Structure 1
Amino acid sequence: DGALKVNVTKIGEETFLAGVMRLVEEAQASKSRLQMLSDRAAYYLTIIAIVTGGITLLAWLLSKATPSFALERFVAVVVIACPHALGLAVPLVAAISTTLAARHGFLVKQRLALEAARNIDVVLFDKTGTLTKGEYGVERIFNFFRFAESRNAGQFPISNDNEILRLAASVDSRSEHFIARAIVREAERKGLELARVEDFQRIPGKGVRGEIYSNILKNVGISDKEEIEIAVGGESLAIESRVSIPGEIQTKIDALSRQGKTVIYVIADGQLLGAIALADLMREESREAIHALKTMGVQIAMITGDSEGVAKWVAQELGIDEYFARVLPHEKSEKVKLLQSKGRRVAMVGDGINDAPALTQADLGIAIGAGTNVAIESAGIILVRNDPRDIPKIIRLSRFTYAKMMQNLFWATGYNVVALPLAAGVLTSQGILLQPALAALFMSLSTVVVAVNAVLLKKKEL
């Protein structure tokens, strides 16, 4: 009797489920180094079996055996050789591990990535959106005009805190950064009308800037200029703009930084108007993930564009071994290279466009599922649930998978090393002779053993 209005955002192959299925299929189609080794070994085993069979046939004929007996030995050798077991030793385990990964909330895009995870000895986390939720909230606004030190410096006459917030939010409305969105949300919550921004510019790792026109400048008491450049950003932007921060305010800002708060400065035509202090919410799962990784013998490092004070506070809160603060986007991959130059195998965990080069440079790139498409495309493994506790699971699965692959390879190789001479009849003088039918049975059983051992991977607790 009514009407239902449905807004379809994605259909068919564009849906999340289809994307998951596509990534699983791509991972299963890709090959690890061990799988490529297994394929080559199976190929050579087939050749070895045929050559060994031919040599066996010729040897028995030369030893005056009957042609039927010599032919029987040839058939037994060819039949008992099992390239199937060797060929399945790795691919079957790889397929099961990929499916197991998807069930536990992370998608393996590249098999080589999962294979590399077992050797990781340091995990480098990007702070915002990875260890923290990236859900910033405005905690405090500093109006520098209230202080005599600022007035003497000729700062613009901003009458109240809301105008500082309005100016910052107007420029930040053009940005997609976590902090920018938080400032805009706070302005919207207070019902502030944002101004039109022209010549918007993003300054990587520092902030944003843009020109705001007179419709807002009248509200803040600036009537002699039609337009003004507003820059909004962190400490790096303030240093670059060479602005002076009032001593009393600097003391408070330093205290906030030591508590893990992020301070954003609002600058008008090179003059400091105010600052906005924001707090990011720590992921409850981060401590558990870091503890689990340390238990596994993996070191933890953190990289962030935030100040030294913020980075140090977060590192202490989470028990992180080392950190890199005030890192610009293009410098992140350099930090990964720095760790690698010390002989360490690095896993990089990130979610943003800025993290893409570092994700590519790392021995293992892990992207947060809620991150940008660029980050996801650059990573070998994706955390669908955005849960850092899945990272220890990745390493455990990699180690379990490698162990199963090696077990299967040793079994398949050892079986053929023993079976081929027996089928050829080297123990005939001892009364041990394998008939072709029995050789076929052993060949089938060897394949079953490999398959059963691979399936046992599903029983492992991650």
Structure 2
Amino acid sequence: MTSNSISTPSGPRDSRRHTPKVDMSGLYQRAIREAFIKLDPRHAIQNPVMFVVWLGTIVTALLTFDPNLFGTVPDTGKQRLLNGLITLILFFTVVFANFAEAIAEGRGKAQADALRSTRSDTTARKLLPDGSIQQVNSTELRRGDQVKIVAGDMIPADGEVVQGIASVDESAITGESAPVLKQPGTDIASSVTGGTRILSDELVIRVTSDPGQGFIDRMIALVEGASRSKTPNEIALTVLLAVLTLVFLIVVSTVPPLANFVGAPTTIAIMVALLVALIPTTIGGLLSAIGIAGMDRVAQFNVIATSGRAVEACGDINTLVLDKTGTITLGNRLADEFIPVNGHSLEDVAAISLAASVFDETPEGRSIVALAEQLGASATFDSQKAEGVEFSARTRMSGTNLPDGGEVRKGAVDSIKGFVRSRSVSVGDSRSGSIPTDLDAAYEHVSKLGGTPLAVCKDNDIYGVIYLKDIVKPGLRERFDQLRRMGVKTIMLTGDNRITASVIAQEAGVDDFIAEATPEDKISVIRAEQAQGKLVAMTGDGTNDAPALAQANVGVAMNSGTQAAKEAANMVDLDSDPTKLIDLVTIGKQLLITRGALTTFSIANDIAKYFAIIPTIFAAAGIGALNIMRLKSPESAIISALIYNALIIPALIPLALKGVKFRPLTADQLLQRNILIYGVGGVIAPFIAIKLIDLIIPFS
């Protein structure tokens, strides 16, 4: 047995962005300016909770100038001071909420500025119909135009290579310094991106995007938030917070009659303060920042998403549909062994395998040629007069039509059997036209090893089996176990036979697999899962993947893939790493977990603020037992609660931007954890903080 050496990666690849560092200087100054600009009522009204605080600030400001505006109050001087303090605290509550959103947007805008620095107008060599070249500005190029690019040129627009082979520097987009080989006619190496640079030779590309609609333009729109729209969950939570605000408004409106009844009258300013303290201002102020930060984390992983809806959908995914090759296995299956059948020798199999692969430029084809040459095989025909037969998903075969009329093929065992039967004629050889009895044994042997068996034949004579070795990527089983604990089902799709597929599936730890899958099977699997009410995600890079990517709830196309795949998907991975889909599920779930945790914390805060303010109001009527926190006075309680209410927003900005640490738990486990940490913690923290503030401030 002869084997080729197969290299495996030393560890998981860091998929974080390696693009030029974003200049973060001045980020906080810009965010502070934006926070005050966002005080514009046209912006404020977009957040119902904070708009109530904004209106409350206006009301208490008016009462600061005239405490008797809505009725006579005793001790006007003290009341004016209290109203002024309430106004100041409410004002900064709104500013802090705007600052949280502005700091999240600011990080995206800083990244967008860095991306804009990589984009510039260039002169392009446009090919005219008569074959001549016209020098034009890159902004004048339109979809369908053909452009010639030579070594040293910047690629002027997104496109597909139609002629030539060249290495391209894509570090401005992916951050990877190693050049990428680009050539026509392949799903994985024909797509080029505007703003990258050609390093060698020359290419002719067909432009696939109009000005302003290129890849970098879409990335800029993504990271700076220009194309961000609220997701369904974010809209639903906004509606819930608005309803809670209305509920607390009704509750607060019942307090003055009760207070008057027990002889502890209140003022409008105090009622405004009570309302602001009770409504969920914490999550209301951080909600936009959480969503923007989720988009930012996706961008940091070198993924461009069409909208926040796609990012959030990752967190709700129930099923992952994954290709085997390149996703679960390392991708480049290499020839490891030739197994003769039908009485042929090892040398015969090597010679026929080489003949079937001379036109196969894939890594698999080249490895077959290399292994055959190691065994001493060489081409015995004029390759200039031979004709290559490309692999197709329909025939599942490839090969060579020889100059003497012979047909050499390699491919899936069942496909080769069908090919041999279709060409079965009597040529005086007992082996010809029949299926060797030892073929199935060789097929099962390779399959049980987890490899891919390819049968090889000439005309109607099967010579043997090629063992293509697959290696499962390290660490995948653990990651699939994490997904399983989160309730996410994994399905592997492969064109391999069922035995090979089952071995790889078991080794990788996926939940299910579909063997001998065709492009149509991908759509069928996705639709079957969606019919059960599940959300499905999948990856793809080829034109034949486009329908399935469009059908999936989350479709992730590879940057190295075809333009059709990119347009059908709602995410594009700039690193072209199919396993990135697992990271995206983690980011999506972290986004939902962070939003849920801070919502729990915000609502739990209301309990402590309730016990801080309500009892002290009625304590003025002599019901001192209600003041369980022993706060100095109703005024001190109100000021302390409002100060805490304002300061907790900037205090939680780092958590909102970074996200709650992700743990692979089930929904029930996550709920229990949220209640324990952010629910109980959200009740205890305000009690302690408000009491400390009450002891510090001189107001009594």
User: Would you say same fold, with TM above 0.5?
Assistant: yes
Write the deviation string for residues 306-350 of structure 1: whole angstroms up to 9, x where unpaired.
Answer: 112211221233344432211112112212333444565544355
1:404 and 2:404 aligned: no
Q: Which moved more, 1:348-357 or 1:85-94?
A: 348-357
Q: Which residue of 1 aligns with 2:628?
A: none
Flag the 1:353–1:315 CA change in 2: closer, same or farther, 3 A.
same
1:137 and 2:334 aligned: yes
Flag the 1:415–1:296 CA change in 2: closer, same or farther, 3 A.
closer
Q: Which residue of 1 aligns with 2:146?
A: none
Query: For 1:421 and 1:383, how far apart are their aligned partners in 2?
Result: 52
One-letter code of the match for 2:396?
Answer: G
Does the 8 Å contact 1:135/1:182 carry over to 2? no
Alignment of 1:150-189 (within 5 A): 161-170=350-359, 172-173=360-361, 179-180=364-365, 182-183=367-368
2:293 to 78, 96, 101: 96
Does the 8 Å contact 2:442/2:465 carry over to 1? no
Q: Which residue of 2 aligns with 1:36?
A: 235
Q: Which moved more, 1:69-78 or 1:122-131?
A: 69-78
2:416 to 238, 261, 264: 238
What is the CA RMSD across the aligned residues, in angstroms? 5.2
1:451 to 653, 659, 665: 653
1:271 and 2:468 aligned: no
Q: Which residue of 1 aligns with 2:312?
A: 115
1:303 and 2:493 aligned: yes
Higher relative contact order (CA 8 A, sep 6+): 1
Query: For 2:298 and 2:463, how far apart are their aligned partners in 1?
Result: 48
Q: Secondary structure at the match of 1:161?
A: helix
Query: For 2:551 and 2:610, how far apart are their aligned partners in 1?
Result: 46
Alignment size in residue pairs: 428
Identity of aligned residues (%): 21
Does the 8 Å contact 2:349/2:464 carry over to 1? no
Q: Secondary structure at the match of 2:438?
A: helix
Larger Cα Rg: Structure 1 or Structure 2? Answer: 2
Q: Which has the higher helix share?
A: 1
1:207 and 2:409 aligned: no
Displacement after TM superposition at 1:305 (Å) = 0.9
1:286 and 2:476 aligned: yes
Does the 8 Å contact 1:133/1:282 carry over to 2? yes
Contiguous gaps of at least 5 residues in structure 1: 64-68, 149-157
Displacement after TM superposition at 1:351 (Å) = 4.8
Displacement after TM superposition at 1:281 (Å) = 3.2
Flag the 1:260–1:8 CA change in 2: closer, same or farther, 3 A.
farther
One-letter code of the match for 1:207?
Answer: R
Q: Which residue of 1 aligns with 2:577?
A: 386
Query: For 1:393 and 1:160, how far apart are their aligned partners in 2?
Result: 43
Displacement after TM superposition at 1:284 (Å) = 2.4
Q: Secondary structure at the match of 1:233?
A: strand
One-letter code of the match for 2:598?
Answer: N
Query: For 1:399 and 1:105, how far apart are their aligned partners in 2?
Result: 18
Q: Secondary structure at the match of 2:453?
A: strand
Contiguous gaps of at least 5 residues in structure 2: 1-149, 159-169, 175-194, 196-214, 422-433, 621-632, 665-700
Displacement after TM superposition at 1:200 (Å) = 5.6
Query: For 2:307 and 2:417, how far apart are their aligned partners in 1?
Result: 42
Does the 8 Å contact 1:253/1:263 carry over to 2? yes
Q: Secondary structure at the match of 2:354?
A: helix
One-letter code of the match for 2:471?
Answer: L
Query: For 2:462 and 2:216, how far apart are their aligned partners in 1?
Result: 48
Does the 8 Å contact 2:249/2:275 carry over to 1? yes
1:333 and 2:496 aligned: no
Q: Which residue of 1 aligns with 2:222?
A: 26
Displacement after TM superposition at 1:130 (Å) = 0.9
Does the 8 Å contact 1:287/1:318 carry over to 2? yes
Flag the 1:291–1:40 CA change in 2: closer, same or farther, 3 A.
closer
Displacement after TM superposition at 1:356 (Å) = 4.0
Q: Which moved more, 1:126-135 or 1:374-383?
A: 374-383
Query: For 2:278 and 2:369, how far apart are their aligned partners in 1?
Result: 69
Displacement after TM superposition at 1:105 (Å) = 6.5
